Structures are given as structure tokens and as C-alpha cells.
Amino acid sequence: MSEHPQTSPNSPVHDDGATRRNVLKGIGATLGIAAYAKALAPLTELTQETSMDEFLQKHYREMSKEEIATVIERLEAETKEKYGADVTISDPEPLDGVKFGYALNLSICNGCRKCAEACHLENNHDRPSHQSYIRVFEMSKGSMDFEKGNAHYDHPVPHPDKYYMPVQCQQCEHPPCVDVCPVEATWKEKDGIVVVDYNWCIGCRYCEAACPYHARRFNWQKPEIAAEEINPDQSYLSNRIRPQGVMEKCTFCLHRTRKGRLPACLEACPTGARVFGDLNDPNSEIRWVLENKRVFVLKEELGLKPQFFYFFDE
Amino acid sequence: MSNPDTPIASASESSPKPLPEWRQYVRFVGSAISQSIEGGWKFYVWMTLLTAIFLVGANAWAVQERDGMAVTAMSDHVSWGLYIANFTFIVGLAAGGVMMVIPAYLYHDKDMHDIVIIGELLAIAAIIMSIMFVVCDLGRPDRFWHMLPGLGKFNFPVSMLTWDVIVLNGYLLINLHICGYLLYKRFRGHAPRAKMYVPFVFLSIVWAISIHTVTAFLYCGLGGRPFWNTALLAPRFLASAFVSGPAFLIVAIQIIRNQTGRMFGEGAIVTLVSIIRITILISLLMVASEVFVEFYTGGSHTGAARYLYFGLDGHNELVPWIWSSVVATILAGILFLVKDVNRYPWVLNTACLLAFAGLWIEKGMGMIIPAFIPSTLHEIVEYRPSLTEWKVTAGIWALGFMIYTLLIKITVNVYSSKQRNSKGQRTIASTDALAMAEES
């Protein structure tokens, strides 16, 4: 674009022009760099949050037992530092030959939302948003359509004209959330539980778009939770406090269920509507329900084969 | 002020001992950089303005990274928003550039051939923008390396997002190669060798179709989102891309003409107009077809369409948007049909602007947001982009315009400066047309 005629390098006119121009450019460049630095300054506060060890951490399934132990040690220390709580993070493996399933009796669920509350406390959810992996819908009798359901009911329960349908992760046999993840940060474990490596997830939220059951949650900011409210019994793949910017989901409380205990939502249920157990054990209560009740799954037509079943008593 | 002709002039006047290839290339890059920071006052004002907007966006993004994506208006119900909406539209813009390449190389349209690089450069700028929109949508961009094959874990071929990473980056590389090769050869005053770039041009035609098809597959493969789960999505994406891309290029060609003071590309504009005349009608037909299926069928699966066009249970955030888009696109469709519309710049440019804006809404917010409203469990949580999202979006658009401006500027300079031809004689590039393409 230069239209300047070629001038002799010795020409004083040329020199002056060039000098003034260079000075202006220098000022421009300096101001520009300063503006860039100022604009991006908030990032410097962020790098203090993320350690180099965390940045370089390998995928959960690529780490040896020792490496996982080191990571867990670091995570425990970070929880102490950031949240002021002493916690124990375990890493229980899937039990051999066990496949977990869940069933829910819609005839007796009374919509009290004790399960959602228990989930909130057990899984160290963000307190201000009152996050939970369970949403309870108040449904109109005579309809299975969620369009006529309401998750925001606020009156004494049970309402005589309604029934209640709690929804959480259905632990699909063919989970679309796992298929769509670009970095394999989420997968299905041997015992049927779909888990997330919170330290590998890049936070693209494709899984959240893919899930037909609204089972996934994103950490829109760093979870807030008071030290005395933190559940110290944690595991790497389930209820440890999640980092900002990653996905999370129901894990059937694997830190409990893999150690022979029941999920927190089940223990909290006052009606006995929830049945949890090993689908491979012919003598389990869940097998009895599947064999003796008329069970159904949500959105069966999608072909995802949920491992979460609903049934009516009568 | 450095004169871009100087190095070539001195090289031809001094001894004929040629510089090694890598040094020639360094000179080429150096010249490109010096072109990027030299210009008239209009150039400085334009670039300073864009830089300022970009910095506002960069700052908003930095705050978003620090404080979390809670500063956006997205939620667990509407988990994708303005960023992914823009991403989707801009992938179309990148693919739309191919509507110059096809006439130029498949139909040997001479006028188009001369300036086809304007479309190829658009692809470069648009792909960079679309990648930035995805990065700004990530909760943890610091973990981008988890996606790199070899280093991280790349869920290929199951995840459509990995396909998108491949096709978008591939398209970027193909176009960088084509443009970079032609410019370098031109800079050296050599004739480009067909086998070095023509195969890539043909590859880029197929590849352009693929980027928008794969981007549609990201959405239409999800069984849990009925609004997206339609086989018409990829064809719809392509039809609209072949409107928005040419519409942008028609305006771009005129601006470049004004700035360089050279008359060129009238034939190319006529061709682009005839393309849009058809593609905009196909695009509208496909929308009408979808709308018919949604509303005639009815049922709860069509809640998203009802929400988009008429509002649902008193929630109607998107209704004004989509009707603006419908009106703008139909109006543009009519204006493009005006006989010899290219002779009436006002009509032509209004039509281009209306088409571009209409499709930005329709293939952006109108395509992404309704899939989340109502949610998969039929809850209605609305979404209106936050100021942060608007700032980041404006910033990325500003950066895109900066990149495109610089690419065009460098190209115009390379193609219009005095050249040495392959025999070492100094020649002047043809000035009747911009003659940006290789001599065929």
C-alpha cells in the first residue's frame, strides 16, 4: 500500500518523517502491549489455582495405583488448603461380578424430596445453588408426560391428584454421554456406573446436551461449601469436591455402594420407595422387583437401556 | 516507511546469485509482517477499533476463566448458548467460501478464478473464529491438550466432536497451504506449479461440504434432542452456508474494490448473486418443511418449535429474534431476484446484509437454544446471553475481521507490486483486474 516515492537514505526530510513515525509506532506498540496485559490480567489469578501437577495429570485409567495415590494425597491437601476440611479420598474398585441397578416404586413415593436433599449433602454439592443429582417431578395422574410435570412444586405433599417421579442418572447400558465425550473423560465402569474423571474433563458440555434424562451437571463456578458441612468420606470418582468448569453426575454413591453400603438417597427415603442392589444376584431385592412387578424405564424408545427402573404397586 | 518494492528491486539490480529458499521464505514472511503494520490512516483507525473491541472481549473471557462460566447466562438447562450459536453459523461462513472455488475450478469461470483467493482467505479467518468460539465455550481450556492425539485421549471415531476437530483443523490447513503457496510463488515472481496446489483445491471443495455436514452431525445425532434430531439438518446447514458465505463475499469484493481503487470482480458478483438466488430459496424451503412437520404433527416433541416461533407457556424470549430472521431472509430472497441486482449496489448490499443477519439468527440462536427449551424433562428455563457473552462474541468477531483485513491487505500487496517473472525480468502485475489468482 506504500505510495511513498523512493527517497535517498540521506534525505533529512525522509529521516524526520521516519523518526516521528517510528516514535509514534513505538508509543502505539507500548500502549498496545500494556492494554493486552491489562485485559488478560484476570488470568494470572487463575494460574495460582491450578498447579503444574494438576495440569500434567494423566487420565485416571492410565495411572498406576501409586500415581493415583499421589494424586489423591495432593487432592486431600488441596481440600484442606482451599476449604479448610480434613477429608479422606478413597478409590474403591468395582466389585467383581456385581452390576448395580436401581428401582423406584412410584405408588409410594410421596414427593418429599428427602432423596434430593440427601444427595446434596452426601455428594458435597455447591450450597448456594442447592445442587442435587435428583430432580423430583410432580406428575398429573393419568399422564406420563413430563410436559405436564412440575419440578418446582411448593406445597404439602403428597397432593391427592398427583404422583411423584424422582429422576436421576439412569446409568444407561448404552450411555450417549460417554459416546459424545471427545476426550474419554467419562466412561461406564464394570459395575454399570457411569463416572467422570473430574481432572480430565475439558468442560465442553457435549455430554450434557446428549443426555436425555437431564442427569448431568456442570460446575459453573468453584463449588462453595463450608468446612463443617463437607462430607469427609469421599472418593476420586464420586463425591470429592469438584473443580470449577467440569461435569459431574450421579455415581450411585459408589464410595458407599462399592463398600457394601446403600446410596444416600435410598437411606434417606422415608417411604421405602427405593430399591437398590446387584442385578447379577438372583436373590437380591432388585431382582425380585424386576421379576414380580410391572417395571418400565424412562424413554425406552431411545434404546439406551437404562439400569434405573420405575414401577407401580397396584 | 519501508517500500515493499525495495527488496525485489535491489535483488534484481545486484548480482544474480539467488538467496537460499528458506531465506526467501523468511523475506516473504517479513514482508507480510511489515505490510500488516503499515498503512494509511483509515487502516490504522480500522485496526485500532478492532483491537479495542478484541481487548474488551479478551478481558471478558479472562474474567470468565477466573470466575467460572457462571458469568454467562447458560445453565444446566440451557448448557450451550451464544458461543456455540456463533460457532455453528461461522462454520457455515467458512464453508460458504467454497462457492467461489466451485465456479472457478469446476466451471472455469475466469472472473471468479482471478479473485478466488478472497473466498479462500475468508475460510481461514472464519475457521480461526469458529475454533475460538469453541475454546471460549470450554470450562477448562487449560486442558485442551487432552484432545491432542498421542498426548491425550482422542475419542475417535465415536465422538462427533473429534470428527469436527479433524475437519475444521484440516480445512484450515488446506486453505493455509493453498493461499500461502500461491502468495509465496507470486511474491517470488514464479508461476505456481499446478500439482502443488490444484489437488488441494479440489480436496478443499469436498472438505468444505464436510465441515458443515460434520457440524450438523454434532447436533442431529442426539436422540434426546428432538429439535435437532432431523436428517434435514445437514442439508439445511449447507443451504444456508451457501447463502451467508457468498453474501459476505459480495460485500467484501466491493469494499476491496473501493479500497484498492481497481475495478474487478463484477462477473464474480453476478455469479455469486445467481448462486444465492437459488440457495436462499432452498434454505427457506427447508425451514418451511421443518416447520410444517413440527406443527402439523404436534405433540410434546414439538415443544421446541412452538417455543421458538410462538413462545411456550408465556416464555417467548426467542420469538422476536426468529420472526426478524424470517422477515429478513424472505425480504433478502425477494431482493436478490431483482433483475440485474448487481447494478444497484444499495439493493444488493441491503439484500446481502439481510440474508447474513437473518441466517446468523436462524443458524445461530434459533438453531441452538430451542433444543434446550423445553429441557429433556420438559422444564422451561429461558436464556438471554449475558454481557460477558456479548463482549467475548464481539471480541472474536473483531479478531476475525482483523485477520481477514490483514490477509486481504497482504494479498493485494503481493499481487499488485512489481514482480520478477520466472525469467528474472521485472514485470508489473496486470492492473485491469486485480488478478489475484495464479495465472492459469
3-class SS string, chain B:
CCCCCHHHHHHHHCCCCCCCHHHHHHHHHHHHHHHHCCCCHHHHHHHHHHHHHHHHHHHHHHHHHHHCHHHCCCCCCCCCCHHHHHHHHHHHHHHHCHHHHHHHHHCCCHHHHHHHHHHHHHHHHHHHHHHHHHHHHCCCHHHHHHHCCCCCCCCCCCCHHHHHHHHHHHHHHHHHHHHHHHHHHHHHCCCCCHHHHHHHHHHHHHHHHHHHHHHHHHHHCCCCCCCCCCCCHHHHHHHHHHHHHHHHHHHHHHHHHHHHCCCCCHHHHHHHHHHHHHHHHHHHHHHHHHHHHHHHHCCHHHHHHHHHHHCECCECCCHHHHHHHHHHHHHHHHHHCCCCHHHCHHHHHHHHHHHHHHHHHHCCHHHHHHHHCCCCCCCCCCCCCCHHHHHHHHHHHHHHHHHHHHHHHHHHHHHHCEEECCCCCEEECCCCCCCCCCCC
User: Do the chains contact at B138 and A302, CB–CB below 8 Å?
Assistant: no
Instruction: Provide the pLDDT for residue B300.
Output: 79
Residues of A in contact with B77 (CB under 8 A): 214
Residues of A in contact with B434 (CB under 8 A): none
Instruction: Provide the pLDDT for residue A15.
Output: 58
**Best mutation target, B43, B377, B413, to test chain A (most A CBs within 10 A):** B377
| Residue among B70, B76, B159 minimizing CB distance to A221 | B70
pLDDT surpassing 50 at residue B4: no
| Residue among B66, B77, B161 minimizing CB distance to A180 | B161
| Residue among B56, B68, B152 minimizing CB distance to A221 | B68
Closest chain A residue to B6, measured at CA: A6
Query: Among residues B364, B163, B378, which one has the least CA distance to residue A144?
Result: B378
Which three three-digit cell numbers place residue B16?
Answer: 544474480
pLDDT surpassing 60 at residue B430: no
Residue in this structure with the C-alpha cell 461440504, named with its chain if needed: B209
User: Do the chains contact at A202 and B51, CB–CB below 8 Å?
Assistant: no
- Cα→Cα distances B95→A118, B91, B110, B286, Å: 50, 6, 21, 19
For residue B10, what pLDDT band results from cuts at 50, 70 and 90?
very low
pLDDT surpassing 70 at residue B425: no
* Tens-place pLDDT, residues A50-102: 788 888 999 999 999 999 999 999 999 999 999 999 999 999 999 999 999 99
Residues of A in contact with B51 (CB under 8 A): 32, 35
* Tens-place pLDDT, residues B37-88: 888 889 999 999 999 999 999 999 999 999 999 999 999 999 999 999 999 9
Instruction: Provide the pLDDT for residue B402.
Output: 97
Residues of B in contact with A218 (CB under 8 A): 69, 76, 79, 139
Rounded to whole angstroms, how far apart are CA atoms A212 and B371?
A: 11
pLDDT surpassing 70 at residue A11: no
Rounded to whole angstroms, how far apart are CA atoms B241 and B211?
A: 11
Instruction: Provide the pLDDT for residue A14.
Output: 53
Tell me the pLDDT of chain A averaged across its residues: 92
Residues of A in contact with B37 (CB under 8 A): 25
CB pairs under 8 A between A and B: 193
Q: Minimum mean pLDDT among B19-28, B116-125, B191-200: which range?
A: B19-28
pLDDT surpassing 80 at residue B14: no
Tell me the pLDDT of chain B averaged across its residues: 90
User: Do the chains contact at B138 and A167, CB–CB below 8 Å?
Assistant: no
User: Do the chains contact at A220 and B69, CB–CB below 8 Å?
Assistant: yes
Q: Is A56 on the interface with B (CB under 8 A)?
A: no
Q: Minimum mean pLDDT among A33-37, B283-287, B318-322: which range?
A: A33-37
For residue B438, what pLDDT band results from cuts at 50, 70 and 90?
very low
The average pLDDT across A157-169 equals 96
User: Do the chains contact at A59 and B152, CB–CB below 8 Å?
Assistant: yes
The average pLDDT across A225-248 equals 97
Strand partners, B315: B312
pLDDT surpassing 80 at residue A116: yes
